[in-house]
Amino acid sequence: MTLLEILRQALATFRAHKMRTFLTMFGIVWGIASVILLVGLGRGFSVDQKKHMQTLGKDLVIAWGGRTSSQVGGRAAGREIQLNVDDARLIHEECYSVRNVSPELRRTIPEVSQFNSANRGVVGVWPSYQDFRSLNLSEGRLITEEDEHDARRVVVLGFAANRQLFPGEPSIGAALLIKGMPYTAIGVLAEKKQNSNYDGPDNDYLFAPYAAVARDFPPPEKKGAGITRGWLDDIVFEVADPEEHDAAVLQVRKALGRVHHFDPLDKDAVFIWDTMEGAKLLDKIFGVVTIFFGCVAIVTLCLGGIGVMNIMLVSVTERTREIGTRKALGATKRNILRQFFAESAMLTVVSGILGLGFGVGMCMAMGALPLPDFVPHPIVSPISIIASILTLSLITVTAGMYPAQRAAEMTPVESLRHE
């Protein structure tokens, strides 16, 4: 019996049992598509979270002052460490593993424009801050080195701050009073979709040159509390090489430890929030989630293969007399084996091709559509396609060979007696 005759008989069998064939194929199609789609969603979650983390800043490290937990140089433990602007200058000058650095002086004070008033946070920063913190303009300009050098009273408005202080009105070049001090709005930030922050969304703040904020709104000096002129809320810096960020952080700790007299390894003396560590943790979490999704999908595909085997066993039972007749007319075990294996292989291979097309198509369609922020854009993974093909090959052999072997082992006499 030629291959063409085998395929023709298989097609005739499928046409005779259309609904059964459709449902059997559907299990495989859905299994293959599930592998591609679920793994794609897992990878999409990971990539989307990385993009959201980048809205906070690029390779960002934030340092706050804390309290020492060990004695150093005869100084008692429990000393309060307060960071100041000289520390930011020290990091800029000495720490070659740091690309950019900026102090942050945050003051929550009243603002008044000719259209509205607010009580939002004003952040004093160096111009470099705007780049590595991913502050993007919608209009106007950013703070420049000249603004910082001359301590100019200029301000860049966050998206929400601009909407409150200048509702529906032009703000570039407009004057506003910040705690009674006249400032000029020079820029408005684009709306920032932020799923992480360390002191509130950037949309809510007003950004001004550090020199101007430190001069006009210095924090009250407190003897014994370490709050003096030059005091900072925190220092933010960008690591030059993300692969060496641990060394860069240790370099900063050593520089600050030398000046403030604490052990660089004392993590309580200076608290560090490292967005790169957060990114690594997210990678691990979503890697596990992706593997879990893939395993669930593979199990679904295997269940589809069990369905194929079950249907083929039913088909063998239903066609017992046909098998006996064919053997009586001279068909060999090999002919019977090839016939039933070919039917099983056709079911799984055609279903697999349809499943691959459906899964890849769904990923591409979802990637092209605008989706809510909480729904990731799936990414087609070559690994998921390879895993699907390998699993499908295994299913083809196991689901087809056993029923075909059972059919081939039937004796003509017993088969013809079957009712």
Residues 288-303: pLDDT tens digits? 877 887 888 788 778 7
- List for the chain the helix, strand, coil content (%; round to 5): 55, 15, 30
Cα-based torsion angle of the residue sequence 228, 229, 235, 237 in order, rounded to the nearest 10 degrees: -150
Query: Cβ(52)–Cβ(196) under 8 Å?
Result: yes
Q: Which two tokens stand for residue 4?
A: 């063409």
Say which residues have a Cβ less than 8 Å from residue 365's Cβ, sequence separation at least 6. none
**What is the C-alpha separation between 103 and 307, in angstroms, rounded?**
64
Query: Cβ(185)–Cβ(176) under 8 Å?
Result: yes
> Tell me, what's the pLDDT at 56?
58
Query: Cβ(70)–Cβ(77) under 8 Å?
Result: yes
> Tell me, what's the pLDDT at 308?
75
Note the helical H segments in 95-175: 129-132, 145-149, 159-165
> Tell me, what's the pLDDT at 179?
93
Nearest to 122, CA basis, from 137, 105, 139, 134: 105
> Tell me, what's the pLDDT at 194?
66
- HSE of 43, CA atoms in CB hemisphere, 13 A: 16
Note the helical H segments in 237-332: 245-260, 275-318, 320-328
Say which residues have a Cβ less than 8 Å from residue 416's Cβ, sequence separation at least 6. 321, 324, 325, 328
Pairing of strands 154-157, 181-189: parallel
CA atoms 70, 71, 72, 76: torsion sign = positive
Residue carrying the six token digits 């709005």: 185
Q: Which two tokens stand for residue 5?
A: 């005759």
Pairing of strands 175-178, 181-189: antiparallel
Query: Cβ(221)–Cβ(228) under 8 Å?
Result: yes
**What is the C-alpha separation between 61 and 74, in angstroms, rounded?**
30
At residue 252's C-alpha, the angle toward residues 246 and 255, to 5°, is 140
Query: Cβ(262)–Cβ(68) under 8 Å?
Result: yes
**What is the C-alpha separation between 417 and 13, in angstroms, rounded?**
22
Q: Which amino acid, 259?
A: V
**What is the C-alpha separation between 4 and 92, in angstroms, rounded?**
77
CA atoms 248, 131, 270, 231: torsion sign = positive
Between the alpha carbon of residue 121 and those of residues 107, 178, 196, 208, the distances in Å are 5, 10, 18, 11
Between the alpha carbon of residue 204 and those of residues 119, 162, 198, the distances in Å are 10, 9, 13
Nearest to 32, CA basis, from 294, 293, 301: 301
> Tell me, what's the pLDDT at 410?
66
**What is the C-alpha separation between 343 and 80, in angstroms, rounded?**
78
Q: How many CB atoms lie within 10 A of CB 27?
A: 21
Extract the residue ranges of the chain whose pLDDT is less than 50: none
